[in-house]
Chains A and B, each alone.
Chain A
Amino acid sequence: MSELANKLGRCELALDRGDFKLRAEFDLPAQGITGLFGPSGSGKTTVLRCLAGLEPNVQGRVQIANAVWQDSATRVFVPAYRREVGYVFHGARLFSHLDVAGNIEYGRRRARRESDVSYEHICELLGIDALIRRKTSQLSRGEQQRVAIARALLRSPQLLLMDEPLSGLDSDSRREILPFLDRLRAALQIPILYVSHNIDETTHLSDHLIVMRQGRVTETGALEHLLSDAEIFGADASGVVLDAVVDGYDAGNQLSSVRFGGGTLLVPGKLANDNEAVRLRVLARDVSISLHTPPRTSILNQVEATVERISDRGGPHVQIELRAGTSRLVASVSRLSRTDLALREGQAVIAQIKGVAVKAWGTFS
């Protein structure tokens, strides 16, 4: 991510706490959701806390937009309450002595400038109009988290930090909140740094990715470039994300057809209305390679592609990176198949994608 075209700021953080050492340097994109991804204990939450000014012992430099929030060299440390940052904590952390309206007002009253987005708009986006007079103890976990997000946004921050807002929620509540996050991303300009150790959540929401391991940033970049890296996500989870547009729905066969950079795919179920955007995730292990178009097969999706790169990391499978039109795909094939098919870079092949493995992740614009 050294060549970010549009960057919000840069962070250089160093913190020693017992056995744990944080040494994180990265640029923050000015738009979209940046996933901060890594295993538990890799320092993701600590990074958020450092950015928010909640870790007084951190050394380094934090610059967001034109403001220097911290610079150890010049002994600048802007206290948390003067940083224009919204923080959505792991638990919602609503104030129990205030009702929903009181919680939301708390940050809004203390905002340093008028919010770019109106109070009404944010309440509508997060669906909390109906909750506004409730006590916080009368809210479900999912509702509490939505209120916490609204509260953070109405502080009109320059950067929204979200620390695993969905973890600790049951799968119903997750499903309830994800569409709201999609709507936020589509409707608001505010950049979001989103901590998660959940790959589904990360790929669903993120545009950029910062990968952490043991207190260090190991990779940064656009999501679609990093996701194919089997080393980061493990062979089972590596794959690509395709942004596609719905072309139509065949009600008889219950198949949606979607257009992406490499052609058209058929995906089971009705994903969205025609011409709406969807994000698909195609796992490497669900893509197989054939040299010719198979005459008859149960696999619905066959895409013409070119082998771009073969990465052999010594396991029983090798990862084949493919280019299909303007999109990329990765396939995981066995060592034996690679030899049998004599795969080489630049070769034209047919990528077969098992229809069921194409994952659809809600809509966004």
Chain B
Amino acid sequence: MLGEGGWFPGAGPLWLSIQLAGATTLILVIVGTPLAWWLSRTRGFWRTPVEAVVAMPIVLPPTVMGFYMLILLGPAGPLGKFWLSLSGDTLSFSFAGLVIASCVYSLPFVVQPLQNAFQAVGEDSLETAATLGARPIDAFFSVVVPQSMRGYLTAAVMGFAHTLGEFGVVLMVGGNIPGRTRVISIAIYDHVESLDYAKAHLLSAILLVFAFLALLFLYFVNRPRNHV
């Protein structure tokens, strides 16, 4: 395999996956915070449609998502064309394109835990903060964010783990370019196709253990506590 160097076979795709998942999680936590906050507070008409759109990636086949993303990000697509004129590079089959696609794909896994956490903070805490002199933005960072720490942990772990395991969208949007778009799940698929089961075993085991640890951590963080 080309460009598969590193400490062990498959280290390249693994490292690329981690970079992709890290970048996606970071962007989603930042973008997802105002979105989740709005969803947790608004009683307006648009709340339900927006909630439905945010949840779409959970039920859509990744190939469908990937297909539309490919059209959107391709050199002829609206976003792809803009990016091309800006950077001289195509978005499809690039790392940047993968990050954008992953952000859409993993959006609900970050927004939903944040929304739940924000809803749990409740109006009481915000009123209390206001009577103590905190303007809304101050109250958000001094009360809502610290009280939503479990929600942020859950959102980050879910977003990261889900992006790490994505396959269909990556295949459609990114293809299989070593060092650029060849992430771990694609590498596993490749190894199985070429009957290289030893390498497939190794990479699969890494993802399996990681998924278990991530979920173990989440259940540990969110387990019910005894209140004094």
Residues in B with CB closer than 8 Å to A151 are 132
Which of B131, B135, B136, B143 counts the most chain A CB atoms within 10 A? Answer: B131
A39 to B134, CA, bound (A): 32
Closest to A103 in B: B132
Which of A85, A86, A97 counts the most chain B CB atoms within 10 A? Answer: A97
Residues in B with CB closer than 8 Å to A106 are 129, 132, 134, 142
- Knowing A93-B125, A137-B228, A138-B228, the reply to whether A110 touches B131 (Cβ < 8 A) is no
| B binding-site residues for A, Cβ under 8 Å | 124-125, 127-136, 138-139, 142-143, 146-147, 149, 227-228
Contact at B146–A79, with CB atoms within 8 Å? Answer: no
- Knowing A137-B228, A138-B228, the reply to whether A95 touches B125 (Cβ < 8 A) is yes
Contact at B142–A80, with CB atoms within 8 Å? Answer: no
Residues in A with CB closer than 8 Å to B130 are 53-54, 79-81
A351 to B109, CA, bound (A): 77
Residues in A with CB closer than 8 Å to B127 are 54, 80
Residues in A with CB closer than 8 Å to B131 are 52, 54, 80-81, 83, 85-87, 152, 155
Closest to B136 in A: A81
15 A-B pairs in the complex with CB atoms less than 8 angstroms apart: A53-B130, A54-B127, A54-B131, A79-B130, A79-B135, A80-B131, A81-B129, A81-B131, A93-B124, A95-B129, A95-B143, A95-B147, A107-B132, A111-B133, A137-B227
Residues in A with CB closer than 8 Å to B142 are 106
Which of B133, B139, B142, B146 counts the most chain A CB atoms within 10 A? Answer: B133
Contact at B133–A81, with CB atoms within 8 Å? Answer: yes
A137 to B139, CA, bound (A): 21
The number of chain A residues touching the other chain, given as a range, is 20 to 34
Q: 1/0 contact trace for A93-131 toward B, CB 8 Å?
A: 101111000000011001110000000000000000000
Shortest distance between the CB of B118 and any CB in chain A (Å) = 14
Supply 20 further A-B pairs (C-beta < 8 A) apart from A54-B131, A87-B131: A54-B130, A81-B129, A81-B130, A81-B132, A81-B136, A81-B138, A85-B131, A86-B131, A89-B128, A95-B143, A96-B147, A97-B146, A106-B132, A106-B142, A110-B134, A137-B227, A138-B228, A152-B131, A155-B131, A155-B133
Closest to A83 in B: B131
Q: Is the interface of B mostly helix, strand, loop or mixed?
A: helix
Residues in A with CB closer than 8 Å to B134 are 81, 106, 110
| A binding-site residues for B, Cβ under 8 Å | 52-54, 79-83, 85-87, 89, 91, 93, 95-98, 106-107, 110-112, 137-138, 151-152, 155
Contact at B228–A93, with CB atoms within 8 Å? Answer: no
A123 to B146, CA, bound (A): 26
Closest to A53 in B: B130
Residues in B with CB closer than 8 Å to A85 are 131
Closest to B135 in A: A81
Shortest distance between the CB of A194 and any CB in chain B (Å) = 16
A306 to B134, CA, bound (A): 57
A106 to B147, CA, bound (A): 15
Residues in A with CB closer than 8 Å to B143 are 95, 97
A138 to B227, CA, bound (A): 9
A93 to B127, CA, bound (A): 10
Shortest distance between the CB of B195 and any CB in chain A (Å) = 54
Shortest distance between the CB of A307 and any CB in chain B (Å) = 49
Contact at B133–A107, with CB atoms within 8 Å? Answer: yes
A96 to B125, CA, bound (A): 10
Closest 4 CB pairs of A and B: A110-B133, A107-B132, A80-B130, A87-B131
A80 to B228, CA, bound (A): 32
A85 to B132, CA, bound (A): 8
Residues in A with CB closer than 8 Å to B124 are 89, 91, 93
Closest to B127 in A: A54
Residues in B with CB closer than 8 Å to A54 are 127, 130-131
Residues in A with CB closer than 8 Å to B147 are 95-97
Residues in B with CB closer than 8 Å to A93 are 124-125, 128
A250 to B146, CA, bound (A): 59
Residues in B with CB closer than 8 Å to A96 are 147
A151 to B129, CA, bound (A): 11
Closest to B143 in A: A95
User: Which of A97, A110, A138 touches B132 (beta carbons < 8 Å)?
Assistant: A110
Shortest distance between the CB of B221 and any CB in chain A (Å) = 15
Shortest distance between the CB of A132 and any CB in chain B (Å) = 18
A129 to B125, CA, bound (A): 25
Contact at B133–A112, with CB atoms within 8 Å? Answer: yes
A247 to B125, CA, bound (A): 49
Residues in A with CB closer than 8 Å to B128 are 87, 89, 93, 95
Closest to B142 in A: A106
Shortest distance between the CB of A205 and any CB in chain B (Å) = 21
A52 to B124, CA, bound (A): 14
Residues in B with CB closer than 8 Å to A110 are 132-134, 138
A96 to B144, CA, bound (A): 11
Shortest distance between the CB of A78 and any CB in chain B (Å) = 11
